[in-house]
Amino acid sequence: MPTARLAEESDLSALLELFRASEVSAAAAPLERAEDIWRQTMSRDDLAVFVSAEADKIVATSMLITAPNLLRAGRCHGFLENVVTHPDYQGRGHGRAVVAAALAEAWRKDCHHVLMQSGRKDPRVRRFYEDCGFVPGLRVGYVAHRPARPA
């Protein structure tokens, strides 16, 4: 059974390689910008990045963002983002390991709940998240896109 660990500063290049192989979205570029973002990420107490590896290769990741909350008796909100598993390693438990690690951290931080969204239409993705403990349909997700910048 695969396991997950907290990401380390030295994991950046392996994560960028994972993102390229998974075609999830354009990664931050140039490399100097990605390095700056990674330094910021690693320095924050309210962000936790988890990774799962096979044969010393990072093959899955997730990011937990926690935020303080004046409601819910002061219990934090948790947000799960950037869940990615390399296409060649899907179905082997790596994605489940990084999500389980993020949820365990959220409960350790006394989060009221963990929210996540997925735009993927593949029914396997929906089953994956449900199997990880997420319940669809309890909330409605809304997205506001940044307006186009004037030329």
CATH of the domain at 70: 3.40.630.30
Domain count, the chain: 1
State which residues form the domain around 94.
5-131
Is 148 domain-assigned? no
Instruction: Write the pLDDT tens digit of every residue in 88-146.
Output: 999 999 999 999 999 999 999 999 999 999 888 889 999 999 999 999 988 888 889 99
N-term to C-term CA, the chain: 52
Is 143 domain-assigned? no
pTM: 0.92
Instruction: Write the pLDDT tens digit of every residue in 41-60.
Output: 999 999 999 999 999 999 99
113 touches 76 (CB < 8 A): no
Is 125 domain-assigned? yes
Question: In the block, which residue shows the tokens 């309890």?
Answer: 138
Report CA Rg, the chain: 16
Is 79 domain-assigned? yes
Is 29 domain-assigned? yes
Concatenating the DSSP letter of every residue in 79-116 gives: EEEEEEE-GGGTTSSHHHHHHHHHHHHHHHTTEEEEEE
